[in-house]
Amino acid sequence: MSSKIKRLKKNVAVLMGGYSEEFKISIKSGNNIFENIDTELFNPYKVIIEKNNWWVKYNGIDYSIDETDFSFKIDKNKIEFDVVFNIIHGTPGEDGLIQKYFDGIDMPYTGPNVNNAKITFNKNECIDFAKKLGLNCAKSIFISNNQIFNFEVFNKMKFPLFVKTNNSGSSFGVTKVFDKDELKKNIENLLGSGNGILIEESLNGIEVSVGLMKYENEIKVFGISEIITENDFFDYEAKYMGKSSEITPARITNEISIIVRTSAKLIYENLKLSGFARIDFIIVNDIPYFLELNSIPGMSDESIFPKQVRLSKLKLKDLVSYMINNALNS
């Protein structure tokens, strides 16, 4: 009989960090999740993932992870994990890379699987998916890294435009441009930095963010928050450096609220997501337009999702326990 079966409390790796610019945000999210794990049910460990170093921080000491089986040793005692709580924003936690590794060693984990991570982390594919479900989206053009294109393709688009790397989060790699010279400069700067560039028309309206997850056999919407930013758009500074505020519930009519909730649930359900997700829309002339989906949303004190959970009068600790047990039993 293995040590995993003998233990009454399961060992949970709270996976944080990652290989992208979102490393520090993920650490904040991971620390918050760690504090909300029920220690009467689970043994949580902080696991930090860096490009060339996977390690556990335990009792103030760092221990290296053995990547062959995702274990570590304290002196001669081998510590094995039963489940992973994935809270890495960006690569490799949100794009399917770490999921592929865990699938290979038969380790259960929370959040998106390989297939839906690949879709949700790819802005262009996610927008195409939303369009196929009948949702409104801003007019956009996708440019792959190897594509030869003529700038005349943008003649039918209205400035200002957003230029985005196709596979980054937290508004990294997003620029708002107001003329063709700025557009050309930004496209040339970004080509080759990811898996392509997405150029979108700017929409003026009420931006809202919807936190949701599948909880107790139903897709639960925790709230719709209205985003108010001091900056020109909801960029990294606005999200994480106090340059924005949220109003929950959003100041929208009940009719629009129903459409937004229904649209968010439609995407979540059809992508077959599990665990936390945050879906953003912008409402123009009472019509919601899909903006983006975060399959592992920020969970720091500054993040929208935990605030919505608190206002819904649910406990984050209960949601975390549900996700861990769901991963263990799936």
- Do 253 and 129 fall within a single domain? yes
Beta bridge partners of 214: 219
Residue with tokens 């994935």: 86
- Do 308 and 222 fall within a single domain? yes
Pick the closest to residue 219 from 261, 256, 254 (CA basis).
261
The two beta strands, 287-294 and 136-137, are parallel
pLDDT of residue 2: 41
- Do 163 and 296 fall within a single domain? no
Residue with tokens 């960029």: 235
- Do 122 and 241 fall within a single domain? yes
- Do 59 and 154 fall within a single domain? no
Residues 6+ apart with CB under 8 A from 240: 25, 170, 298, 300, 302
Residue 168 has pLDDT above 90, yes or no: no
pTM score of the predicted model? 0.91
Task: Quick: pLDDT tens for 126-141.
Answer: 999 999 999 999 999 9
pLDDT of residue 8: 81
The enclosing domain of 209 has a CATH number of 3.30.470.20
CA 31 to chain centre: 16
> How far is residue 228 from each of residues 129, 172, 287, measured CA to CA in Å?
27, 19, 18
Judge contact between 276 and 211, C-beta under 8 A. Answer: yes
Q: Comparing 11-25, 89-103, 239-253, which segment has the lowest mean pLDDT? A: 239-253
Mean pLDDT, the chain, integer: 91
pLDDT of residue 13: 98
- Do 10 and 159 fall within a single domain? no
What is the average pLDDT across 278-292? 97
- Do 89 and 157 fall within a single domain? no
- Do 126 and 144 fall within a single domain? no
User: In three state form, how does the secondary structure of 67-95 look?
Assistant: CCCCEEEECCEEEECCEEEECCCCCCCCC
Task: Quick: pLDDT tens for 291-327.
Answer: 999 999 999 988 999 999 999 989 999 999 999 999 9
Task: Quick: pLDDT tens for 236-270.
Answer: 454 555 556 899 999 999 999 999 999 999 999 99
Count of domains in the chain? Answer: 3
Q: Which range marks the domain in which residue 67 is found?
A: 3-110
Q: Comparing 37-41, 236-240, 326-330, which segment has the lowest mean pLDDT? A: 236-240
